[in-house]
Chains A and B, each alone.
Chain A
């Protein structure tokens, strides 16, 4: 229990250093662009594949479970759209990104720690926490909401492609379903969640990487811990935000 509180304390101390006035805005901007390319653009392929297939599977599963003639055909498109916008794109994709980006961030910063690169920055008088973590947080806050929108679009397209070939439904029903009773707030809700998740996805792995001690084995452990903790916190925050925003 004490360790947990120590970790929470150390995490907020790290954050207080991250959000101090940067030493050099030009370098931070350059680093942020670099992180956007490496963390954001590097994740687009994976998210595209997962979203398209997940959209297709959700559509098929919904269609096979709704073969009652009393249920309107457009419900399949409606269910696919709602599940993607409200949960699959913001939460499930964030959990996937917590694995991909989180392990990357923890191992990158951890390697810098054990190979003295962080000490080298400190000796140069650079606030290493700000220089290393701040651009990652900013890049993810900008890019992850974009990835979430991208995932929503691709998931719905995945379902649309399946609806053209699947026996139990028609393309027109699917299109009617994805347009039925659309509420703009669902997108806002998803984006609000994604901003919180983006912060978690980068700040928690940064913490585990920044304070790593030892060697390669410890970097591996820090990487695993960062994914586990990020995922758990994403799920808790997801519950709290849903309670606050939708209920």
Chain B
């Protein structure tokens, strides 16, 4: 479980996050939604320690993350997997080497054991016979799958996904969503997904947080979101005609 309490973050005079308090539960898809510039990515980066926060606390299973030293943070980070919006695969490494990277960095397994784990992870994301390909040779959907395989290689407790289906066709987007959902349940991970995709929100949102003007504006699940009378949330989620029709139906 990840808990954020009274978190503030600003860049100069720009107060990006203000008094954010939220809990992300294990075994659930926790979604962070909000308009562009609402602070979703900054919140995620604060949670994984890429940005220093101004004040507040971030707890990983009750342990305060912000006051940890480098070694302690490193221990937590071994339990974090992250899927980036643009996948962030290492260009100079093949698919196999990308997934192998965290294993080589942190485990003392033999090469054979590591390769078995790599193949298991790649099979798990339905990506076979791609081991020797380089990221430049992969489609967007394949890159996301490799990103997921790399993120789960060390069997993480926490999975962060930054817009996992952006830039993908609707069908591949659904496949990636389902994959994240399956993996979350299978390994009982605390999964946090930033998304703009309303299809994902309606399909997978078990715990949704709506960020508006840097504040935790609304929180609930995909059933509650339909019934909510929160004006800003409704304007964001049901912005399109088809979503309005869906709500009315």
Interface range on chain B (Cβ under 8 Å from partner): 20 to 34
Chain B residues near A34: list those with CB within 8 A. Answer: 92
Bitwise, A93-118 to B at CB < 8 A (1) or not (0) is 00000000000000000011001110
Cβ contact within 8 Å between B86 and A116: yes
B236 adjacent to chain A (CB < 8 Å): no
Total chain A interface residues with beta-carbon distance under 8 A: 17
Q: Which of B50, B86, B105 contacts A122 (CB 8 A)?
A: B50
A217 adjacent to chain B (CB < 8 Å): no
Segment with Cβ contacts to B, from A21-29, A46-54, A154-162, A176-184: A21-29
Q: Which of A23, A27, A115, A123 contacts B82 (CB 8 A)?
A: A123
Cβ contact within 8 Å between B77 and A123: yes
Cβ contact within 8 Å between B105 and A123: no
Cβ contact within 8 Å between B74 and A125: yes
| Among A24, A115, A117, A125: residue with most chain B CB under 10 A | A125
A192 adjacent to chain B (CB < 8 Å): no
Chain A residues near B91: list those with CB within 8 A. Answer: 111-112, 115, 117
Q: Which of B86, B105, B160 contacts A126 (CB 8 A)?
A: B105
Bitwise, A14-36 to B at CB < 8 A (1) or not (0) is 00000000011011000000100
Give B53 Cβ to nearest chain A Cβ, in Å: 16
Chain A residues near B75: list those with CB within 8 A. Answer: 125
Q: A128 vs B84: C-alpha distance in the bound complex, in angstroms?
A: 17
A164 adjacent to chain B (CB < 8 Å): no
Chain A residues near B74: list those with CB within 8 A. Answer: 125
Cβ contact within 8 Å between A23 and B80: no
Q: Give A residues with C-beta under 8 Å from B.
A: 23-24, 26-27, 34, 111-112, 115-117, 119-120, 122-126
Given contacts A117-B90, A117-B91, A124-B102, 15 further A-B contacts (CB under 8 A): A23-B105, A26-B104, A27-B104, A115-B88, A115-B91, A116-B85, A117-B88, A119-B84, A119-B88, A120-B90, A123-B48, A123-B77, A123-B82, A124-B78, A126-B105
Q: Give B residues with C-beta under 8 Å from A.
A: 45, 48-50, 73-75, 77-78, 80, 82, 84-86, 88-92, 101-102, 104-106, 160
